[in-house]
Structure 1
Amino acid sequence: MKKCISAILIIFFLSACGVSTPAPPFLHYKPSKSSNIHIEFDYPSTWLFSEEIEYTDFIVISMGDPRISTVPTRAPNESHGTPSDLGRIGIDIQPVKSGQTLDTLFSEYTQDDEYNWWIKPIDHYKVKMDGHDAFILELQIEPLTSIDGNGFTSQMFSKYIVFIVNNQIYRINFTVAEKERGGEFEQGFDYFFNSLKIVP
């Protein structure tokens, strides 16, 4: 009994002194039952996170390198925000349009685009995402320094993962600076990707 009281007193003392439990290294994202989102995943607790839902079916989930919060806000002449080369992940979810299939999306993403000459396709391949068909497109992106630049300050690596679930298109876009490949942010992405589950 004395040991239990002593333990309680120690816990109370530490709490009173402002000692807090360290944050978990990863957070778990699980959609609410009322939402039309059918994925769940883990992501590093240090990452920036936001979720925007418009008309229930149009959803954007964004995650990013915590250093993004130190980037100055967009100037009036910057159409894409203040340029940076910090890692980011975007998940875009929207309804399938008439005639759209994974094959038509694959053709659309892999066709040559003469207007976006600064984007160089590296590889594309098909995979399974938790039992569902998906394709991955890997790109290399050059920074544009013009007033209508693309928001990057150095050469970037980008990976698109696309799949369809419950008549919704899921587009996951992972982007990181080539100079930071294999670093902490990409390791976090790998953890996120391996934890990704499709739910009813």
Structure 2
Amino acid sequence: MEARRPPGLVRKQLEKQARKEQNIRRSSSPDRDSPDDDLKEHVQALLDLDVNLRGYGLRADVVKGEAQLYGVVDTLSEKEYAQELAKTVPGIKKVANRISISTDGPITDRDVEFEVAEELEAAPGVDTRQIGAESSGGVVSLVGRAEDPAAIESARQAAAKARGVARVVSKIKPQDRPRPGELHSQGRTGGEQAPDKKEER
């Protein structure tokens, strides 16, 4: 399942629903007036209402303004998405993401590399002739070269969607784009100059 950050309008609707849920819970527990309790209810309501996450039954707690997230999801991208969602709550200072990543069954590094390769193929701006992936114990290393920094971030996000990926490390090296005039001199060896034309008479 692909987890995507909700657009502004959808996020506002989620927050409105979350505040409504928060008010209902607060009215049923009038003695709870701690700021952390209010923040916890808001974060929990967002997790419960979000279409990408509500099926996981994730739990939230807030201690001194720090949101602490617990539970299990299928992919790293969903774990990161839950963290970004919690950050949208006003008053949350930071997020401790303790969500775990699980798979339906055993998955090998070769399986992970295969799934990451599929995600990279579908990722916008990623040239799989230049960018590849290696997996070791759930840690995926992206390797290769890329001219555009946006392609590196696109590759990182794509790898995070694959099953079995616990962390993504980018080892992609930036590749400078040729400057104007460099293409014309690529056929010459360093320092070699074109022969002078004979003076016409």
Shorter-normalised TM-score: what interval? Answer: under 0.3
Greater RCO (Cα-Cα under 8 Å, separation 6 or more)? 1
Identify, as 1 or 2, the structure richer in strand. Answer: 1
Structure number with larger C-alpha Rg: 2
**TM-score of the pair, normalised by structure 1:** 0.26
Length-normalised TM-score, structure 2: 0.26
